[in-house]
Amino acid sequence: MSVVVVGASAAGFATAEGLRRNGYDGALTLVGAEPELPYDRPPLSKQVLTGAWEADRIRLCRPDKAIELGLDLRLGTPAAGLDPATRHLALTDGSVLPYEQLVLATGVVPRPFPGTDGLRGLRMLRTLEDSLALRADLAPGARLVVIGAGFLGTEIAAAARTLGAEVWLVEPEPVPLGIAVGTAVGEFVAGLHREQGVHLHTGPAAAVRDFKVNAGTVEAVVLADGTELRCDLAVVAIGSVPATGWLAGSGLTLGDGIECDAHCSAAPGVYAAGDVASWFHERAGIRVRLEHRTNATEQGLYVAKALLGQTGEPFTPVPYFWSDQYDTKIVAFGLLRGADEVRVVEGAIADGEFVALYRKGNRLTGVLGVRRAKSVRQWRALLAAGSGWDEALAISPK
């Protein structure tokens, strides 16, 4: 057999490692768009951005490990096209790789702000290079505008404040992270940023209308209400889009990501894993695509087993994510978006120490906590069992 894995980040690397661990000893090619060996991305907006960690610390795979795993590495060569009928993958360097089994783990790319192509002083953060470049420009007193208060934007704002930059965080939704975790928890996060001196602008008036540009360099971010935020640097963190452009014409179904069945298969001999994979989550009863670091590993390991015929079970993980905001770690299990109700069952949000449950319809769909991580994990079993809301509340201490 021959296996080609496209994408040399967390999901692709987990797949490759999982294949070897589960006994696969055939040809194994790992294709990566970046010239780097696999590395870990969450620290790029956390420890690497603050300078607490050297870049070397986020390596997931060192050269000796790649040799030990017998990887045929094709780094710095993005994939260019796919013909699943004849099972051939084309790379941008002109080479064509035949495969018997293919794993697509190309991840996501940052969503650009419309009409800003080529502007200097406007950054995005996805790669190690992006993080190091941003860090180099965040001297104390530098004026930074962060556009978008999702997980990435809020973490960049926190890291930049830690470095002594003056930070404006702008978000057209009413609260940071509101869509991801609900209004109450979003208000809590807003409070953390205000306490640290971040200038937070939220709501429709804070939508970015325009940029003031001088000689090709952004000098100010202009909000919908006319507010001008002068800056040395602005970072766009308004979400990501699945890296599937190169698959146009392949015949694969591309919606919000590569659409797979409940077993993460997109076509005969083709699997997908990580941020780019949209699959049918049988227990949740919905199609899911996750941009969680933990899912990249979990799904990569699952795909390795599925590809080798070692599991017939569908992929039904309990998602997990965490976020670091200053010295506060937020942890969560489940699917929190679009909840009908968020109820605090332990502690109090005002005390900065709590556990909140998320309900959709009559089901428990998620749990999130701050400074109660161990309690949070105790709800995981109920999520894994597809627990009803009343059943969950009946066992909660409050």
Partner 1 sequence: MKITIDRDRCCGAGQCVLAAPDVFDQDDEEGLVIVLQESPAPEQHQAVREAASVCPTATIEVTE
> Is residue 62 close enough to count as binding partner 1 by CB under 8 A?
no
What is the nearest approach in angstroms of partner 1 to the Cβ of residue 14?
A: 9
Compare residues 384 and 393 and give the one whose CB is closer to partner 1.
Answer: 384
Strand partners, 102: 4, 270
Residue with tokens 């260019």: 80
> Is residue 212 close enough to count as binding partner 1 by CB under 8 A?
no
What is the nearest approach in angstroms of partner 1 to the Cβ of residue 177?
A: 18
Q: In this chain, which stretch among 88-96, 261-269, 305-313, 365-373 interacts with partner 1, using CB under 8 A?
A: 365-373
Rounded-to-integer distance, Cα 126 and Cα 109, Å: 7
Rounded-to-integer distance, Cα 216 and Cα 121, Å: 9
Which of 147, 190, 143 is CA-nearest to residue 166? Answer: 143
Number of residues that bind partner 1 (CB under 8 A): 26
Position among 3, 4, 37, 40 found at the interface with partner 1 (CB under 8 A): 40
Strand partners, 265: 271
> Is residue 293 close enough to count as binding partner 1 by CB under 8 A?
yes
Per CB under 8 A, which of residues 236..255 are in contact with partner 1?
A: none
Q: What tokens were used for 359?
A: 């309900």
Strand partners, 168: 145, 199
For the chain, helix, strand, coil in percent to 5 are 30, 35, 40
Compare residues 272 and 318 and give the one whose CB is closer to partner 1.
Answer: 318
What is the nearest approach in angstroms of partner 1 to the Cβ of residue 94?
A: 34
Q: In this chain, which stretch among 70-78, 196-204, 376-384, 390-398 interacts with partner 1, using CB under 8 A?
A: 376-384
> Is residue 18 close enough to count as binding partner 1 by CB under 8 A?
yes
Give the E-state strand segments of 166-232 in sequence order.
166-171, 199-202, 208-214, 217-223, 228-230
Q: What tokens were used for 42?
A: 């969450």
Rounded-to-integer distance, Cα 201 and Cα 147, Å: 10
> Is residue 2 close enough to count as binding partner 1 by CB under 8 A?
no
Compare residues 60 and 124 and give the one whose CB is closer to partner 1.
Answer: 60
Which of 10, 1, 88 is CA-nearest to residue 43? Answer: 10
> Is residue 326 close enough to count as binding partner 1 by CB under 8 A?
no
What is the nearest approach in angstroms of partner 1 to the Cβ of residue 303?
A: 14
Rounded-to-integer distance, Cα 167 and Cα 99, Å: 48
> Is residue 291 close enough to count as binding partner 1 by CB under 8 A?
no
Residue type at position 100: E
What is the nearest approach in angstroms of partner 1 to the Cβ of residue 47?
A: 8
> Is residue 48 close enough to count as binding partner 1 by CB under 8 A?
no
List all residues 6 or more positions away from 296 whose beta carbon is below 8 Å from its beta carbon: 9, 10, 11, 14, 105, 273, 274, 275
> Is residue 331 close enough to count as binding partner 1 by CB under 8 A?
yes
Q: In this chain, which stretch among 97-105, 158-166, 271-279, 297-305 interacts with partner 1, using CB under 8 A?
A: 297-305
Compare residues 60 and 229 and give the one whose CB is closer to partner 1.
Answer: 60
Three-class DSSP category at 242: strand
Compare residues 67 and 373 and give the one whose CB is closer to partner 1.
Answer: 373
Q: What tokens were used for 327?
A: 């010295």
Q: In this chain, which stretch among 97-105, 182-190, 265-273, 368-376 interacts with partner 1, using CB under 8 A?
A: 368-376
Rounded-to-integer distance, Cα 57 and Cα 42, Å: 12
Could you list the residues that contact partner 1 (CB under 8 A)? 10, 17-18, 21, 40, 42, 47, 60, 293-294, 296-298, 301, 320, 322, 329, 331, 371-377, 380
